[in-house]
Amino acid sequence: MGHLLEVNGLEVKFALRFGDLTAIDGISFTLDKKEKLGLVGESGAGKSVTGFAVINLISKPGFISGGSIRFEEHELNRLPEEKMRSIRGNRISMIFQDPMMTLNPVLTIGTQMIETVLAHRDASKSDARDIALEKLRKVYIPSPEKRLEQYPHELSGGMRQRIVIAIALLTNPALIIADEPTTALDVTIQAGIMELLSQLCETENMGMILITHDLAVVSQVTQRIAVMYAGRIIETGPSDYIVNCPRHPYTIGLINSLPGARKAGSRLTQIPGMMPNLTAIPPGCAFHPRCRLQEPVCKKSRPALEPVSAPEHFAACHQVDKTVDQDKLLNLLNEDNQ
């Protein structure tokens, strides 16, 4: 059985006055039907760009300069625009970060929902309205009929994000790309929205790519995680392994900076330094200037993603041998076998 989505060697560049800037440098990953994948990294690592690349909507001056994106039976970045449009918002939906900015302020919720249905289905307006109502109920919007007549500014942030999710569900997509869906929301409602999304993926048979900078969030929701750094995937594997026995020093740093990873009362650690600017990515391993384990080889050659001890777990690090935490690994493997 083929994957739902298969990204191979994707490369995205930005055409700037002084030359092209590489934002995504040959990343590959796959997603099966109904699978949830977390794409994690700091801002600027290229997570969002990857998300937009999949639906071929990178804002100018960015463009896809190489690689392939296979979705169902389509080669997405070779598709003519009209065909791509019929997939975008139909088979693949996207959820944006800030619900305050995502909905058009001068159109009613109803208009913004119905038009989406009409763009992809040969339905009458009243049929489209019924579909909209059904999806609003699915995301637990109270009195949905009333909402259809309202403008976005009349609703709260959490409500708006539910509506954005409802819009994403309208056409029963096979894949949802959620770009930081809870970051702009109040902490108190973040968990609820995430829970809703996760649960909907199960009930509606959707795959999801969850883009976030928050490792704690993804680990609870997704089966697999890919960690991005400076436009590359530096570690990928099942969520349990990534969280409990990360192998790349950067991932380890991310985990250690999470509250709760350490004993209560102890200080949180932070990764020294900053992620490099895209114009000045260090040679060799992009992470080496911030890495405690760096050796001369790290400055010279770029490490490839190599399998590490656990199944389907890959890391791109020359010093991967030094990061094995054998105890934890054994525990995990034992749990799996039981």
Point out which residues bind another protein (CB under 8 A).
55, 57, 59, 85-90, 93-94, 96, 98, 101-107, 115-116, 119-120, 151, 153-154, 164, 167
Quote the strand ranges of 48-173, DSSP E: 62-71, 74-75, 92-95
Question: Residue 219 CB: number of other CB atoms within 10 A?
Answer: 18
What lies within 8 Å, CB to CB, of 336 at 6+ separation is: none
Quote the strand ranges of 273-328, DSSP E: 306-307, 314-315
Q: Which of 246, 236, 230, 235 has its CA nearest to residue 286?
A: 230
Phi-psi map region of 103: left, alpha, beta (phi>0 left; psi -120 to 50 alpha)? beta
C-alpha 314, offset from chain centre: 18
Strand order in the sheet with 74-75: 19-31, 5-16, 62-71, 74-75
How far apart are CB 179 and another protein at their closest, in Å?
Answer: 10
How far apart are CB 320 and another protein at their closest, in Å?
Answer: 37
Task: Identify which of residues 70 and 121 has a Cβ nearer to another protein in the complex.
Answer: 121
Task: Identify which of residues 53 and 315 has a Cβ nearer to another protein in the complex.
Answer: 53
Strand order in the sheet with 314-315: 92-95, 175-179, 207-212, 36-40, 224-229, 232-238, 314-315, 306-307
Q: What is the CA radius of gyration of the chain?
A: 21
Task: Identify which of residues 84 and 261 has a Cβ nearer to another protein in the complex.
Answer: 84
Task: Identify which of residues 98 and 240 has a Cβ nearer to another protein in the complex.
Answer: 98
How far apart are CB 101 and another protein at their closest, in Å?
Answer: 4
Sign of CA dihedral 240, 246, 252, 256: positive
How far apart are CB 23 and another protein at their closest, in Å?
Answer: 17
Task: Identify which of residues 120 and 302 has a Cβ nearer to another protein in the complex.
Answer: 120
What lies within 8 Å, CB to CB, of 64 at 6+ separation is: 10, 11, 12, 53, 56, 58, 77
Task: Identify which of residues 162 and 318 has a Cβ nearer to another protein in the complex.
Answer: 162
Task: Identify which of residues 169 and 215 has a Cβ nearer to another protein in the complex.
Answer: 169
Sign of CA dihedral 86, 73, 57, 46: positive
Task: Identify which of residues 149 and 312 has a Cβ nearer to another protein in the complex.
Answer: 149
How far apart are CB 112 and another protein at their closest, in Å?
Answer: 8
